[in-house]
Amino acid sequence: MARETQDNRIARTAAEVWETTANEAGELAFISRILVQAFLPHTDPKALGWSRKNGNFTLTVKSGIGADENGQFKPFGVPYGSIPRLILAWLNSEAIHNAQDSNNTNPQRIYLGRSLSDFLDKIGIDRSGGKKGGITRFKNQAEKLFRAEITVTSTGLDMISERDMKVADGRFFFWDIANPEQTTLWESAIELSDRFYALLIKTPVPLDWRILKGIKQSPMALDLYMWLTHRLSYLKEPIAIRWETLEQQLGADIENNRMFKHQVRKHLKKIEAVWKDLKIDTSQADVIKLYPSRLLTRPTKMMAGQ
């Protein structure tokens, strides 16, 4: 079977989104408000740390360090690209589901399933093998993400608040990487850290899984979709945002401002194709203008009470 092209995937996604809401289709996803104030890098920063600043808020991600098969310590690197974004959205969605389940005695334990292929399907990652295949890229990025240390910093007049956290305190994988279709006796799981779990369930931003999977090839498109959904959720009147401000917030590391604008406009076309009521003006040289727009997803009653 021929692989679906990106244009065809976006057209199919647009048709699905226009026909049914994420709530109706059972495709509701979530991402923490904190995680859309600043983003992970788009490409490998080839460094032990990464930082993004948005006003008084700063997100810093530091590489985890562990021992290799020879007992030598090595850095795992900073997570980057689309895969960590999809993993975080899935973890966030499951955390919200667990938090709303009064019978769940351990909501911080996120079950991933009994086969790697099933989990990859859930988050929209292809199951191809090889050095550059989806399985290898998932393994590498998951290891970077679950080993990394995250610091969120807020500053104000004569004050600074910092919190260090890891995504997970425990990781329990039983999958056979060489045989991703193989079903295991035990279900793989992630044990979210206390601080990260608290971050995920506080004022989450509702998203549509169909859109995330439809634009998954571009981390910038994912960032723009998440950012716009969050920003427009409370926008009451038009606002102008300087291009430089947006550049600082997104995970892109593009020194050329003209190229950054070009990339944003290019990826916004994908989002506009599925978000037909999105009102945005990127024609001006200094600012990008947002206008109140009808949201594709809305908070549930349970979220509103959190």
Q: What is the CATH number of the domain that holds 244?
A: 3.30.1370
Segment 47-67 shows an average pLDDT of: 93
Are 140 and 73 in a shared domain?
A: yes
Q: Based on the domain organization, do 193 and 172 belong to the same domain? A: yes
300 in any annotated domain = no
Rounded CA-CA distance 87/254 in Å is 24
On the question of pLDDT at 31 being above 60, the answer is yes
The structure tokens listed for 295 are 């949201």
Burial of 19 (0-12, 13-18, 19+ CB in 10 A): exposed
Beta carbons of 282 and 265 less than 8 angstroms apart: yes
For the entire predicted model, the pTM comes to 0.92
Both tokens assigned to 55: 């006003």
Query: Is the pLDDT score of 302 beyond 60?
Result: no
- pLDDT at position 179 is 84
Question: Does residue 271 have a pLDDT over 90?
Answer: yes
Residues 89 and 112 in one domain: yes
Top pLDDT among 184 and 49 is at 49
* Residue 2, pLDDT above cutoff 80: no
- Mean predicted confidence (pLDDT) in 269-275: 94
Provide the domain limits for residue 174: 34-202
Domain assignment present for 284: yes
Query: Among the three residues 168, 202, 236, which one is the final residue of a domain in this structure?
Result: 202
Say whether both 8 and 43 belong to one domain: no
Say if residue 249 is in the same domain as residue 286. Answer: yes
Q: pLDDT tens digit string along 162-220?
A: 999 999 999 998 888 888 888 888 889 999 999 999 999 988 999 999 999 999 999 99
Looking at residue 300, what is its pLDDT? 53
Task: Look at residue 299 in the predicted model and tell me its pLDDT.
Answer: 58
For residues 21 and 134, membership in a common domain is answered with no
Strand 239-242 relative to strand 204-208, pairing: unpaired
Average pLDDT over residues 265-271: 95
Q: Are residues 169 and 221 in the same domain?
A: no
Residue 303 pLDDT > 50: no
Domain co-membership, 169 together with 260: no
Q: pLDDT over 90 for what percent of the chain?
A: 72
